[in-house]
Structure 1
Amino acid sequence: MPYETKKIMLDKAKGLLPRIRNAIYEPIAALTVSAWVTKEPVPYSERTSGVYMNVKPGDKWGNLWDCAWFRFEGCVPESAAGKKVVLLIDVNGELCLVDNEGSPYQGLTNINSEFDFSLGLPGKRVVDVSESAAGESIHLWADAGCNDLFGKYRSGTLKEADIAICNDETRRLYYDFEVLLELAEQVPDASARKDRVIQSLYESALVLEVINEETVATAREILGKQLAKRGGDPTVTVSAIGHAHMDLAWLWPIRETIRKGARTFSTVLRNMEKYPDYVFGASQPQLYQWMKEYYPTLYEQIKERVKEGRWEVQGAMWVEPDTNISGGEALVRQILYGKKFFQEEFGQEMKVLWLPDVFGYNASLPQLLKKSGVDYMMTQKLSWSVYNTHPHHSFHWEGIDGSKVLAHLPPEDTYNSPGAPRSLAKIESHYLDRNVSEHALMLFGIGDGGGGPGEEHLERLAREHNLLGLPPVVQESSLSFFEKLAQEGPRFQTYRGELYLEKHQGTLTSQARNKWYNRKMEKSLRELEFAASLALALGEQAYPSEELDEIWKEVLLYQFHDILPGSSITRVFDESLARYEILHTRVAEMIEQTYANVAGLSGIAGGQAVVVNSLPWEREERVERNGVQYAVKVPSMGFIALSEELRSNENDNRELHADEASLENRNLRVAFAPDGSILSIYDKVAGRESIEAGKKANVLTIYHDKGDAWDFPRDYRDTIAGTMQLESAAASIQGSNAVLVQTYRYGESSMEQRIVLAEDGTTIRFETKVDWQESEKMLRTSFPVSVMSEQVNCEIQFGYLKRPTTRNTMVEFVRDEICAHQYIDLSQPDYGVALLSDSKYGYSAERNVLDMNLLRSPGYPDPACDRAEHKFVYAIYPHQGDFVQAKVYRKGYELNTPLTVVQSDSAETATGRSDLRSLIQIDNPDVMVEAVKKAEDSEHLIIRLYEASGTRAKAKVNFGLTCAAIEETDLLENPIALLQEKSSSAALTFQPFEIKTLRIKWNA
């Protein structure tokens, strides 16, 4: 007699699985449910302050983002005596049960929450009551949000609230069955292992025609023989750690993230009580800081698990930030504040950068990590690339300066692993470096919206630990995994340069106002720290450390990878923009107050204006004060009193010309077409044209953009919607500037560009205001220049990248939209043209065309994205020589860091040092000072410098005062070497793009 076919046996087993699941819980009584509903969260002490309602299953209790305190009451029936009893609760929202003091106890999630169901079911609805019931009374409070894991509205109605018996052996059988079913699908077809597993499943299914205590026991005995079979010597061992990637804002506001943290972390603690092998990790000090502030009891419980070694604090940054747009010093502060928090709070030295979900990784990061004591990096986002597959899962990542870190991408290509047999099989089969590595990482749990691992993940892993047919899996920390991986390090390949994600290029432009504020805050904080440091050098005793820390941390929060990139809901940006405005205003006030104090300390008489230059080179520029323009020469990182006379109008205007068709000074002549675009930029000094003959520049082109906040169509150039139409133009000479003001309109949108050419200027400024009211459109400007180069020079944090202007390969083809900060430049050895910006990050450079993405207005997830008033500045800089010879990076800094003019305070004589006018001077033009600040934990001054041109450089740094000691430190301000004692200077040698941090102590 032949055997039954394997397909029929498997189908029978699969059909049985839902029946087993439905037999686990048996509702026996309903809970009484009350709710007090509010629009925003209220604390436990105010839990009855909302609108009261009695709620039954099917009753609506809220709308999207409503909050409520629920009260669940009942009594376990006598019929359940001695049995395992649980509660089944689903409010069609997120819920956090609390203890008698109001501290989070356990998180629950609606069963119909949005999630990728191929990874598993996201809901959590089961609450343990008793292993052996004895008539318990139920009195529970819970804090609810009327939203699912992904912020979606799911009817706002109570679905269930029941007391139920849990048939625990049936529950265990369910996971036995599920794991073996998947195992049968993963092992090779022509194998005895597969046939034996299928046979066991089939025999169990025959037994379970009726599911009762006896048949469940028999089926478990049959399946147990297959679950007991162990694997042999492993080829790949999987290190698994529980995870709950939490976006600090995305499809929900920041306030909901705080509560998501409480729900997720309390669930982790409950599961750790039930599963002794469970190891969990979570990143982002900002999230822990919120737990400390809002839920101190929960926080202390977390600290105990960290001390025990079962909870891993992860990551080396304050949040998981965007690393394309965030500035260099901001990324340093992410690491500085992040590592400092974990060290102070948990005694943990962070060695792993944890960035599973950011949208590309800038090529300066390896150096920042190595100089901060971070040796490893984990991400998986590169698996999202569309056209090309990243060649490695384990590799050495090398940055622009030559620094390397060991990087790992979990081969399952997700941070939401179900921890199932298919997960382990995929890791083994997809691991690109399995030929040289025996270790891979798995992150299991429900993430993005939080929630973390559930019972199902931990039950599966318990059965899979060393199950024949799968690679073995062990639960351990990510640091333990990386330490094992590092032993294999010599065999791994090296990947140099940026880790470019072939998706989400729209995030370089979406939510332009947030990006504008981010750039302004980065530059303003640099200015404030320099001002406060200058005051210290002049004898001031106070430094605003505490307020600076608070402001920095909030700015770092808004650099989170769904806020700064512009990929969150409307409310997130309404709230961040409101806070940005307050922060920006406050920092501007502090800068003015501090510089006024500097003037008084240095002896500049009250009533005089002071001009301050925070950049490390002397600047000869024009400044305006009370409507009057002055020519000034301000020393490197220093200041002067504004006492020079105004130059005469005759001298100012002698080489300036302005009319509707042209602007001209002694260096440049700009010709405009009747439509407002540029026909020519003639470099009078070089004697050559900067714009390609026959082409127009600064054509303000509008494209159809049917994408979302993350992505726009790759072929957008083929879908031109039109151009901004010139309505008027007015030219004038304004002091030492030739100015052309153009107004444009398209559809419901309007634009004003004030095009400025200064008398001595070598750049053309486009001071732009836009009232943008278009939907699903993208606004760009482009400059076809008379320069040909196969590479474009793009400023990134602490240096630059050369990227191809060709489209010869698929890699080049897909990297059309690229990120740059203050400049992008095309150069030949003898000549070049740079495009500068004060707040734009999305560029394209193909052949000889420099193109900048100005605005875009997708409809999701914020339907109002950038339909607002904007202001920004960009500039064109034609130059002789290549971009290094022309010091293009300085032009970028000058555009973003104008001279500061303030009124001195009332002091008539110096109260500090009257001989100090320049704090720092550097004799090498390729060395930039990125930050000057007070040390975190001492009275020293910290100075951060870097080599900006990609050359080996020697530089002498002179200080305005004699220093008791000059030391070199790492980025965390830990001393590395003593450079000088009792000296006012230090000699430094830089490798290309090297960052150096100095710590100096003034003589008393």
Structure 2
Amino acid sequence: MPYEPIRLEPLKQMLKKLREAIYEPVAELEVTAWVTPEPVSYLDRKTGTKMTLVHGQRWGDLWDCAWFRFAGSVPEHSRQEELVLLLDINGELCLADPNGSPVQGLTTVNSEFDFSLGLPGKRVVRLHDMFLSGSDIEVWADAGNNDLFGKYQGGTLKEAVIASCREDIRSLYYDVEVLLEAAEQLPAGTARKERIYQALYDVSLRLTDISPERIAAAKKKLAEPLSLKGGDPVLTISAVGHAHIDLAWLWPIRETIRKGARTFSTVLRMMERYPDYVFGASQPQLYDWMKQHYPALYEQIKQRVREGRWEPQGAMWVESDTNVPGGESLVRQILYGKRYFQQEFGLEMKSLWMPDVFGYSASLPQLLKKSGVDYMMTQKLSWSEYNRHPHHSFLWEGIDGSAVLTHMPPEDTYNSPAAPRSIAKAEREYLDKNVSGHALMLFGIGDGGGGPGEEHLERLAREKNLLGLSPVQQEPSWKFFERLNEERESFQTWRGELYLEKHQGTLTSQARSKRYNRKMEKALRELEFASVLAARLGRAYPAETLETIWKEVLLYQFHDILPGSSIKRVYDESLARYEELLGQTETMIADTYSYLAGHIAHGKTASAQTVIFNSLPWERREWLRVNGRWHHVQVPSMGYAVLSNDAGHEADGEAASSSEILTKTPGEGADAAAEGRSLENDKVIVTFDQNGAILSVLDKAEKREVIQQGRLGNDLRVYHDDGDAWDFRHDYAANAGTPLHLLSMRELREGPRIGLVFEYGYGESSLTQTVVLTAGSRRIDFETDVDWRENGKMLRTSFPVNIRSNQVHCEIQFGSLGRPTHRNTLWDFAKDEICAHQWVDLSEPDYGVALLNDCKYGHRAIDNVLDLNLLRSSTYPDPEADRAEHRFTYSLYPHQGNHVQAEIYRRGYELNVPLRTMSLPDVSDQETGKLPLSQAFLSPDHPHIMVESVKKAEDGDDIIVRLYETSGTHAGTTLRLGFQAAEAWIADLMENRLTQLKLNEPSEIALSFTPFEIITLRLNVPEL
């Protein structure tokens, strides 16, 4: 007779029946909560509003907090059973020990999650002795009224019971689950598949009654298919537990700290039950929060790290965005991140852990290699919309030629359920399986934390070497990367940026955050430079304060804060902190420059004098307004000069030298004028139409029109934008957009500056823009103030320039990147919105036009149009995003030659780094000062070499000087110092000495750069 046909549905019903039989409630718990709007300590747990709760009762609103007390008594008839607590408050819970330290985290089953990856809820608590006093139970838990992803699920008590746990049923459940899913992944008709189905069918017949005897018989029946092993593996999967925790996103930063405690305490409990369990977590910031807020928990983590079962991962202080932060910010992310793990755990981080970042700058490979980081892990490129990245394992090469080995887990997720389908997908989808026998699996519940549960670890215990599946071993990722590196020669190379074909809106969203970030980066650069100079004169270098400020700035560069994709509260809090940080930094800059000014030997004078500081590494000649008067000043490279406010006068018989201040009144050979709707200086003539857009920019020297004939420059338009913070429609420009309505125009005259002030209206918003020409300059500035009140709108400006080029050059960190201006392929089409920092440039071989900015990042360059994204007002996740007052400047800069010959990188820095002024102290005699009237402290003699950072070393009094080649060419330079150095070393980005340099003189160093190379110097410089 034929065999009974086996249908899957009864087998799945059996699995469901087993799951429902694992736990049986035996008694209710009494539940009391003390509710507060913000978290309170364990010692203050009874200070909130007291509530006695019953099932289904609501206990709070979104973001409310509470300390819960669960109390009860074990029934006498259940005292010999395996007991657990089942707790679900419709939010997140962290159980505490009698000292208030975290024990275990729980999360509502209602948390939103991709259920194809598993169920997110954690509700089961094994009874610990700390919760028991005889048969009485008392458990305290810190609660947050939000789910894993910050969503409000109703805030009701859903479950609070004592339950017996049928361990035999629980074990059988996972046997059945793994075998059933493993069989589903096997090819039809294979003997292995049919044998498993038959065994499961036989078991289902016996489990009509779930008795201990029948459960034992079922376990025995399934032992055989579970014991069958695989043969020689073609692919081995390295599995490491993961709990991706966004440091802010759909919840505020304060909730992240508690998420860390919930997640990490759960990991520790799971490690007690599963000896093979290996877990990893990145972001030193998160560890530091644990150290500060939960010291006992942190000590348990350190013990697991010492055992090798807990892997600190990373290299960066946070999982930072890499598009918007400046180059030095990325260096500090790595510097502070690696130093923390080295100091706290004695571990050297060799990989960059970046699973969820919105694209990766082509500058990163060099930063990693020069920091001792050889590997990178991500999976985010799997989110691209139009093109599939061709590799999971590959060498990623940056703009300078440095390469790091990069791996994307072929499952394309960091939330793997660690189920048979996970293993099958990894083998099936691994794009490099033809040359690689190793792949990585990140298992657990992430984004909002939580991490692996027992289900992940029970599956892995059965999948180590199960016939029909690739073997899986739990191990830290560093072991995986070392094995992958042995296959390095077989991998292909990807050159340039790793562009994510999604989330282009994050280059513009939350514009105020991006502005503050730019201003903080420049202010910190200025403060460090000034502090190094002051330290040579005996003033204490503010190392601790600088590190504290830097680390907070680095925190706000997290990939859901700086890109603009967090909730309103995150920005309410971070913008307030930014304002305080910038104020603090600017005050310190002023104090430090005042200290330096007090050491300048300026002699007796009858008139006030001002010191002008220049932190950029070239001599600057600019118009500057000082004490109400305009002066054309000349300030040496990375130095200062003294200005007498009696323009052109000599001071105490000392004539101004060429290295000191030159002064000139407006009108002496460099005029600017306005007439009607046009502006003119000695370089350009700008003509405007009736609505304030630019009709013409005439380069007088070249007799060349800059704006394409028949088109408008600075064409301010508003586009419909119904996207969220991450994305806007790719075809937004199919609708031409709506121009602003010009309300008024007036003339501006300020010494050498001439301009037109345009006032516009649009909807509920207003925009005031001052278009300025300065005598002697080609730069056309658009100084803009906006009160933006629109919903679902995007404000952009565009310049159709009279240039033909297949590439637009864009400044990125420590260099620039060429991108296509055509849309020949789907790869070109996908890369429509592009990131640039201080400038983009379209150039022919002998002429070009640059678009500069002081705080914008989202650009578009198609054909001959340079386009800048100014503001977006999306409604999710912040319904008030960018409905605020904004201030920014962008500039059009026509130039001779291409972007390299015109030194466009300098123009970008000059817009972003103003000259600083400080009055000399009002004393009768300062001739004994240690500093001359003018001095350059650092001066490279090659025009393409930029000094990005000057700071004190992290581990001593040496001076760190970071330089880079800006144009993509080989360059040799002599760096002249305005001080004597005892020793000079090439260092890595971690400031470790590598190669000692010969000092031609105590004040000169010869350096040789490869294209876009970063060189870090470590100088031993005696104090004055």
Give the TM-score band, short-chain normalised. over 0.9
**Residues 756-808 of structure 1: per-residue CA shift (max 9 Å, x gap):** 10011110000000011111111100000000000000000000000000000
Question: Residues 595 and 904 of structure 1 are in contact (CA less than 8 Å); yes or no, is this contact kept in structure 2?
Answer: no
Residue 784 (structure 2) aligns with: 768
2:2 alignment partner AA: P
2:5 alignment partner in structure 1? 5
Query: Aligned AA for 1:74?
Result: G
Counterpart pick for 1:659 among 672, 675, 678? 675
1:202: how far off?
Answer: 1.0
After the TM superposition, which residues 483-882 of structure 1 pair with which residues of structure 2 at under 5 Å, given as runs? Answer: 483-537=482-536, 539-604=537-602, 608-643=609-644, 645-646=646-647, 651=667, 655-882=671-898
Name the SS for the 1:251 alignment partner: coil
1:86 and 1:130 in contact (8 A); partners too? no
- Cα distance in 2 between the residues matched to 1:581 and 1:652: 40
Quote the residue 2:1015 is aligned against: 996
Distance 1:274 1:994 in 2: 50
Could you tell me how far apart the structure 2 residues matched to 1:134 and 1:863 are?
50
Distance in 2 (alpha carbons) for counterparts of 1:654 and 1:358: 49
| Counterpart residue identity of residue 193, structure 1 | R
1:192 positional shift = 0.5
Question: How far apart in 2 are the matches of 1:412 and 1:455?
Answer: 21
Aligned partners of 1:558, 1:988: CA distance in 2, in Å? 35
Work out which of the residue numbers 961, 970, 980 in structure 1 matches 2:988: 970
1:397 aligns with 2:392: no
Gaps of 5+ in 1: none
Structure 1, residues 47-82: CA drift from partner, whole Å, max 9, x if none? 111001111111111100000001111111111122
Q: CA deviation at 1:650?
A: 6.3
Distance 1:251 1:133, change over 3 A: closer
From 94, 107, 110, the counterpart of 1:109: 107
Name which of structure 1's ranges 752-761 and 728-737 shifts more when overlaid on structure 2.
728-737
* 2:914 aligned residue (887, 898, 905): 898
For 1:259, what is the secondary structure of its paired residue?
helix
Aligned-partner SS, 1:651 = coil
Q: Percent identity?
A: 61
> 2:630 touches 2:666 (CA, 8 Å); kept in 1?
no
Question: CA separation of 1:297/1:482 partners in 2, compared to 1, >3 Å: closer, same or farther?
Answer: same
What's 2:651 paired with?
none
Deviations 1:889-927 (A, max 9, x none): 000000000101122345642443447711101100000
**Distance verdict in 2 for CA 1:623–1:254, change over 3 Å:** same
Secondary structure of the 2:667 match is helix
Instruction: Give yes or no for contact 2:132–2:138 (8 Å, CA) kept in 1.
Output: no
Corresponding residue of 2:365: 366
Deviation (angstroms), 1:427 = 0.3
Q: 2-side partners of 1:529 and 1:337: how far apart?
A: 16
Q: Deviations over 1:596-617 (max 9, x none)?
A: 1111123347953211000000
Tell me if the contact between 1:744 and 1:750 (Cα under 8 Å) persists in the aligned partners: yes
How many Å separate the matches in 2 of 1:762 and 1:133?
79
CA distance in 2, matches of 1:368, 1:687: 43
Q: Is the 1:243–1:452 Cα contact (8 Å) retained in structure 2?
A: yes
- For the 8 Å contact 1:540–1:912, the answer to whether it is kept is no
- Whole-Å Cα distance in 2 between the matches of residues 979 and 906 of structure 1? 43
**Deviation string, structure 1 residues 331-353 (Cα, Å, up to 9, x no partner):** 00000000000000000000010
Q: What corresponds to 1:198 in structure 2?
A: 197
Deviations 1:273-308 (A, max 9, x none): 000000000000000000000000000000000000
Give the drift of 1:208: 1.1
Shift of 1:175: 0.7
Equivalent pair of 2:671/2:776 in contact (CA under 8 Å) = no
Give the 3-state SS of the residue equivalent to 1:601 in structure 2: coil
Q: Equivalent of 1:926, from 931, 944, 953?
A: 944
Q: Distance in 1 between matches of 2:818 and 2:854?
A: 21
2:653 corresponds to: none
The letter of the residue matching 2:98 is N
Give distance in 2, aligned partners of 1:99 and 1:222.
42
Equivalent position of 2:379 in the other structure: 380
- Paired residue type of 1:983: P
Counterpart for residue 966 of structure 2 = 948
Q: Displacement, 1:980?
A: 2.6
TM superposition shift of 1:4: 2.8
Show the counterpart of 1:917: 935
In structure 2, what is the equivalent of residue 60 of structure 1? 58
Letter in 2 for 1:656: A
The one-letter code sitting in structure 1 at the alignment partner of 2:718 is I
> Unmatched 5+ residue regions in structure 2?
648-662
CA distance in 2, matches of 1:872, 1:555: 20
Determine helix, strand or coil for the equivalent of 2:935.
coil
2:326 and 2:521 in contact (8 A); partners too: yes
In structure 1, distance between residues paired with 2:176 and 2:541: 65
Distance (Å, rounded) in 2 between the aligned partners of 1:477 and 1:387: 33
Contact 1:81–1:134 at 8 Å: present in 2 too?
Answer: no
The question of whether the paired residues in 1 share the 8 Å contact of 2:602 and 2:933 is answered with: no
Give the AA of the match of 2:987.
Answer: T
Secondary structure at 1:917's aligned position in 2?
Answer: strand
CA contact (8 A) 2:600 2:930 kept: yes
Paired letter, 1:330: S
For residues 119 and 381 of structure 1, the distance between their equivalents in structure 2, rounded to whole angstroms, comes to 17
d(CA) in 1 for partners of 2:956, 2:71: 56
CA distance in structure 2 between the aligned counterparts of 1:59 and 1:135, rounded to whole angstroms: 30
The structural deviation recorded for 1:407 is 0.2
The offset of 1:679, in angstroms, is 0.5
Q: Is the 8 A contact 2:670 2:682 kept in 1?
A: no
Taking the aligned partners of 1:654 and 1:511, their CA distance within structure 2 comes to 40
1:252 alignment partner in structure 2: 251
Calculate the aligned-residue CA RMSD, in Å: 1.5
| Separation of aligned partners in 2, 1:806 and 1:139 | 68
User: TM-score when scaled to structure 2?
Assistant: 0.96
The one-letter amino acid paired with 2:943 is: P
Distance between the aligned counterparts of 2:817 and 2:1021, measured in 1? 37
Give the 5 Å matches for 1:80-95: 80-95=78-93
Is the contact made by 2:973 and 2:1008 (CA closer than 8 Å) also made in structure 1?
A: yes
- Shift in CA distance, 944/654, structure 1 to aligned 2, threshold 3 Å: closer
Q: Which residue does 2:154 correspond to in 1?
A: 155
Question: Does the 8 Å contact 2:678/2:686 carry over to 1?
Answer: yes
Cα deviation, residue 687, structure 1: 1.2
Q: Distance in 2 between matches of 1:630 and 1:345?
A: 53
- The equivalent residue for 2:655 is none
When normalised by structure 1's length, the TM-score is: 0.98
- The 8 Å contact of residues 81 and 133 in structure 1, kept in 2 or not, is answered as no
Distance 2:621 2:392 in 1: 51
Partner amino acid for 1:448?
D
Query: Does the 8 Å contact 1:113/1:149 carry over to 2?
Result: yes
Aligned equivalents of 1:146, 1:800: Cα separation in 2: 46
What is the rounded CA distance, in whole Å, between the counterparts of 2:933 and 2:345 in structure 1? Answer: 46
Match of 2:431 in 1: 432
- Which residue among 48, 59, 64 is the counterpart of 1:50? 48
Give the aligned partner of residue 297 of structure 1.
296
Which letter does structure 2 place at the counterpart of 1:295? Y
Paired position in structure 2 for 1:325: 324
What amino acid is the match of 1:888? I
Q: Which amino acid aligns with 2:947?
A: V
Query: How many pairs align?
Result: 1001
Matched-pair contact (CA < 8 Å) for 1:371–1:971: yes
1:200 is displaced (CA, Å) by 1.1
